[in-house]
């Protein structure tokens, strides 16, 4: 969990007209003030590269979730061996290159009946993701019994608690995740060392341990980054920010592993913080945890890992930083469900981030002598192995208590019991600042029928919940709840379920925690209910009284009425994908207003096809409508990797550009519009590049986002809008008023911000304003007294549109509608801006 501190000089970076706009990760690296400094940054996804893997990911189907087979152990699989790659960045450090992992695992499988290796997914660039299981041999019947016990723990915890054979015979599951950040290498090497020891040791203690334990290791969660020496995966994403969204194949793979293995303890091996860092974390603690069941194990396990690294005898490992014990609130929190350990906690695990100490990446990788790099990597590998061994010891020693507490977590969920009040001193150092809790609603309802804002969004949300092991059912009949009538087919999330914490953290609005801690490690607000585009209702105290059936997959949502011309309202990325697919087929579409696309009757067959493919719902178009023709946008985009991914996810034709590529002669021939949010400075273009851009701006539109986009707007003289900066690390879910006809039409009443901007001035249309009390959930303090806070943003223009002095159209976003490919319900407003500026 590396940290990027953002905007140290908040309000003092880039002048746009008369206002200062601060640094924003993704625009450039920055540091944010805190009581401690950590990590490598940047936290925001990197600027998109022309060879981004986004298109590759989007072209492939997500596939079904990985699940373990029913055979016994060992389960030997001959892993495919990759060609030697002398450019693998691990080689310089004396660490195992990616191409060396499969041969090593194949050899261990042949040498030991304790080792099973399999492929559980593929990276953004198609590399195999390995899961290694180390345990004593099991017959198929014994393995099936373990599976039944695991399912009983989750599905009937009361019965599991009574089952004495389960208490005696259930193998303790521990999961180690390594190398999720590609340039934090040594977790892989330390894990392989432990695997080899467990596989080959002949002592009775090891044999006995493996007879009562299963050790699961995802050996490298980010092979693309491991090879390239980058934090991000091959699509430019920080996988350790993606667990609530699951946009990347690497995060989906480990999601499936944690659900299928249900570990008692998990470690996520990272680096580099100077001193080894071992969670538990500082407040704010996620309010949906059963935190008493977590901290009672997490703190002593961390202390055991600290003792293990001290025994290594290096001066650099004389102590560890344990944030819960050592740091100030907000320095290293466990609030959002986006990190691997925090996500795993909702599945019953005691999750820890471990940050090994000595930096060997970034500048150190290129400037330090190889001998010093390898000395550091050797110590780091020892630390990783020592923390893993200590965690295995803790899990084995405390097996009965860990089993009982995982059962208890799921039992509380099924029973719908309130969270426990945790007293001061429950563990050493626990005090009022650590006390976070929530009241779980009784149920969420995702309506079917006319009251559902977006059927594709509802289906996507339901499928997402189910994929994360949240129980969803579908009503067999209509029903009334809290005075409202719901049709048959409506979806119900009954919060009396084992993983209610995960269900709630994904669906609740969240909480404004600005006054509780001075800063946050990462984002502090998110909400699938408010930002994913589906209508979702909350029932605080009553559950529906209706027969339901469990949902494995949401019902198909595509439909086309019997009508002449057809209309499709752009509310969801699926709607945009359908429009772009029709444009690809040469269908002559019209734009009725800014949010509705009209399909001619002659293209009904193609409409039926895309309705089935994307689940979109066409309606009958009004008679006599004219509308402006839509042409296929061809976009030159200077954007961050997550935005590129989202644009391609919607089916846009995107050609990545930057100041450097344009100055080097990148050709804009055939491009119809420009998107600017990262990596493009108008003032730094050379004469030839500027002439190309000026030509594009005279014939095509531009859409911008954030500080870089606002700077481009000001320098190119497009809209007379003055950008004003909020605090650079401010982020979260905000309430907005939709006032315009382009972006505002049909948009959600909520948006997302990260380093928020707003616009002042005249000569443009305000599409969206921040509400009078904008922050719904997240962390947003003033950057200075009376400046940069939500009070100053209240009522101000968040998104503006207009015609430029060059005669083209422009839309400027101060919000984050594509952030990390997360707020799906905001995508359509960005797409409408693209169609409007390109028409």
**What is the set of active-site residues?**
355
Are the C-beta atoms of residues 338 and 244 closer than 8 Å to each other?
Answer: yes
Residue 769's beta-bridge partner residues?
737, 797
Are the C-beta atoms of residues 801 and 767 closer than 8 Å to each other?
Answer: yes
Are the C-beta atoms of residues 404 and 330 closer than 8 Å to each other?
Answer: no
Distance of alpha carbon 574 from alpha carbon 558, whole angstroms? 10
Give me the phi and psi of 602, to 5 degrees please: -65, -20
Distance of alpha carbon 248 from alpha carbon 124, whole angstroms? 7
Query: Would you give the end-to-end CA distance of the chain in angstroms?
Result: 43
Query: Taking Cα atoms as reference points, which of 450, 472, 456, 462 lies closest to residue 533?
Result: 456
The token duo for 748 is 């959600």
What does DSSP say about strands 479-481 and 809-813: parallel, antiparallel, or unpaired? Answer: unpaired
Are the C-beta atoms of residues 565 and 486 closer than 8 Å to each other?
Answer: no
Torsion of CA 42, 43, 48, 51, to 10 degrees: 90
Are the C-beta atoms of residues 591 and 562 closer than 8 Å to each other?
Answer: no
Are the C-beta atoms of residues 182 and 127 closer than 8 Å to each other?
Answer: no
129 in helix, strand or coil? strand
Are the C-beta atoms of residues 747 and 738 closer than 8 Å to each other?
Answer: yes
Are the C-beta atoms of residues 197 and 146 closer than 8 Å to each other?
Answer: no
What does DSSP say about strands 765-779 and 797-803: parallel, antiparallel, or unpaired? Answer: antiparallel
The token duo for 126 is 């198609």
Distance of alpha carbon 682 from alpha carbon 118, whole angstroms? 50
Are the C-beta atoms of residues 42 and 82 closer than 8 Å to each other?
Answer: no
The token duo for 796 is 């101000």
Angle between helices 186-200 and 370-397 (to 10 degrees): 50
Residue 665: partners with Cβ closer than 8 Å, 6 or more residues away: 688, 689
Torsion of CA 679, 685, 691, 696, to 10 degrees: 10
Distance of alpha carbon 639 from alpha carbon 661, whole angstroms? 13
Residue 524: partners with Cβ closer than 8 Å, 6 or more residues away: 284, 335, 336, 510, 513, 731, 732, 777, 778, 779
Torsion of CA 285, 328, 42, 501, to 10 degrees: 0
Give me the phi and psi of 623, to 5 degrees please: -70, 140
Are the C-beta atoms of residues 650 and 577 closer than 8 Å to each other?
Answer: yes
Are the C-beta atoms of residues 444 and 458 closer than 8 Å to each other?
Answer: no
Distance of alpha carbon 615 from alpha carbon 625, whole angstroms? 25
Query: Taking Cα atoms as reference points, which of 319, 317, 320 lies closest to residue 353?
Result: 320
Query: Taking Cα atoms as reference points, which of 529, 427, 544, 423 lies closest to residue 474?
Result: 544
Are the C-beta atoms of residues 673 and 655 closer than 8 Å to each other?
Answer: no
The token duo for 814 is 């101060």
Q: Give the position of tokens 């249900």.
A: 262
- Torsion region of 658: left, alpha or beta (phi above 0 gives left; psi -120 to 50 gives alpha): beta
């Amino acid at each position: 969990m590396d940290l990027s501190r953002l905007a140290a000089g908040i309000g003092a970076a880039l002048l746009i007209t008369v206002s200062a706009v601060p640094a924003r990760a993704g625009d450039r690296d920055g540091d944010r003030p805190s009581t401690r400094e950590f990590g490598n940054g940047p936290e925001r996804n990197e600027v998109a590269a022309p060879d981004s893997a986004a298109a590759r990911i989007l072209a492939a189907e997500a596939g079904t979730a990985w699940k373990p087979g029913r055979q016994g152990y060992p389960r030997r699989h001959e892993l495919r061996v990759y060609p030697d790659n002398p450019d693998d960045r691990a080689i310089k450090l004396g660490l195992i290159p990616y191409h060396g992992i499969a041969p090593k695992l194949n050899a261990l499988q042949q040498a030991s009946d304790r080792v099973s290796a399999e492929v559980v997914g593929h990276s953004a660039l198609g590399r195999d993701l390995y899961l290694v299981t180390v345990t004593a041999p099991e017959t198929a019947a014994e393995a099936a019994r373990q599976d039944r016990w695991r399912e009983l723990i989750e599905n009937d915890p009361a019965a599991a608690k009574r089952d004495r054979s389960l208490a005696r015979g259930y193998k303790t599951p521990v999961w180690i995740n390594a190398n999720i950040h590609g340039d934090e290498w040594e977790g892989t090497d330390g894990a392989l060392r432990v695997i080899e020891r467990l596989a080959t040791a002949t002592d009775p203690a090891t044999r006995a341990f493996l007879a009562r334990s299963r050790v699961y290791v995802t050996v490298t969660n980010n092979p693309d980054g491991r090879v390239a020496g980058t934090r991000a995966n091959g699509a430019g994403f920080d996988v350790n920010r993606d667990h609530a969204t699951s946009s990347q194949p690497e995060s989906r793979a480990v999601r499936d592993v944690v659900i299928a293995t249900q570990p008692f303890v998990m470690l996520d091996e990272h680096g580099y913080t100077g001193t080894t860092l071992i969670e538990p974390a500082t407040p704010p603690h996620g309010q949906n945890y059963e935190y008493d069941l977590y901290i009672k194990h997490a703190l002593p396990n961390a202390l055991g890992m600290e003792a293990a690294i001290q025994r290594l005898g290096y001066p650099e490992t004389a102590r560890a930083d344990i944030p819960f014990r050592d740091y100030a609130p907000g320095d290293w929190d466990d609030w959002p469900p986006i990190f691997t350990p925090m996500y795993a906690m909702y599945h019953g695990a005691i999750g820890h981030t471990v940050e090994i100490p000595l930096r060997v990446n970034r500048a150190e990788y290129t400037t330090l002598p190889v001998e010093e790099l390898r000395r550091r990597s050797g110590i780091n590998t020892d630390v990783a192995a020592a923390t893993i061994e200590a965690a295995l010891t803790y899990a084995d020693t405390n097996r009965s208590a860990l089993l009982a507490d995982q059962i208890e977590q799921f039992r509380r969920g099924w029973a719908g019991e309130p969270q426990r009040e945790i007293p001061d001193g429950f563990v050493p150092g626990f005090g009022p600042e650590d006390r976070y809790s929530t009241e779980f609603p009784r149920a969420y309802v995702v309506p079917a029928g006319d009251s559902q804002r977006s059927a594709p969004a509802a289906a996507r949300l339901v499928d997402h919940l189910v994929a994360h092991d949240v129980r969803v059912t579908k009503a067999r009949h209509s029903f009334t709840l809290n005075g409202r009538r719901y049709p048959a087919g409506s979806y119900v999330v009954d919060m009396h379920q084992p993983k209610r914490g995960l269900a709630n953290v994904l669906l609740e609005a969240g909480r404004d925690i600005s006054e509780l801690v001075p800063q946050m490690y990462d984002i502090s607000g998110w909400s699938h209910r408010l930002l994913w585009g589906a209508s979702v209702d909350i029932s605080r105290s009553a559950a529906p009284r209706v027969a339901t059936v469990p949902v494995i997959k949401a019902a198909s949502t595509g439909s086309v009425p019997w009508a002449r011309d057809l209309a499709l309202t752009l509310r969801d990325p699926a709607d945009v994908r359908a429009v772009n697919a029709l444009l690809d087929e040469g269908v002559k579409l019209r734009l009725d207003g800014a949010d509705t696309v009209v399909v001619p009757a002659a293209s009904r067959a193609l409409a039926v096809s895309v309705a089935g493919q994307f689940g979109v719902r066409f309606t009958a178009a009004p008679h006599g409508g004219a509308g402006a023709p839509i042409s296929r946008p061809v976009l030159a985009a200077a954007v961050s990797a997550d935005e590129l991914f989202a644009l391609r996810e919607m089916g846009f034709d995107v050609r990545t550009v930057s100041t450097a590529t344009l100055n080097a002669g990148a050709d804009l021939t055939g491009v119809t519009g420009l998107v600017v949010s990262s990596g493009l400075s108008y003032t730094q273009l050379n004469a030839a590049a500027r002439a190309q851009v000026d030509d594009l701006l005279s014939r095509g539109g531009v859409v911008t986002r954030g500080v870089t986009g606002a700077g481009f707007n000001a320098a190119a003289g497009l809209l007379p809008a003055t950008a004003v900066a909020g605090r650079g690390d401010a982020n979260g879910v905000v309430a907005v008023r939709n006032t315009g006809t382009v972006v505002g039409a049909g948009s959600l009443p909520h948006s997302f911000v990260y380093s928020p901007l707003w616009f002042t001035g005249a000569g443009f249309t305000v599409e969206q304003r921040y509400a009078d009390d904008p922050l719904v959930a997240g962390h947003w303090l003033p950057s200075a007294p009376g400046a940069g806070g939500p009070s100053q943003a209240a009522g101000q223009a968040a998104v503006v549109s207009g015609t430029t002095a060059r005669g083209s159209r422009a839309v400027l976003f101060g919000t984050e509608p594509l952030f990390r490919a997360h707020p799906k319900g905001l995508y359509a407003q960005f797409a409408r801006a693209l169609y409007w500026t390109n028409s």
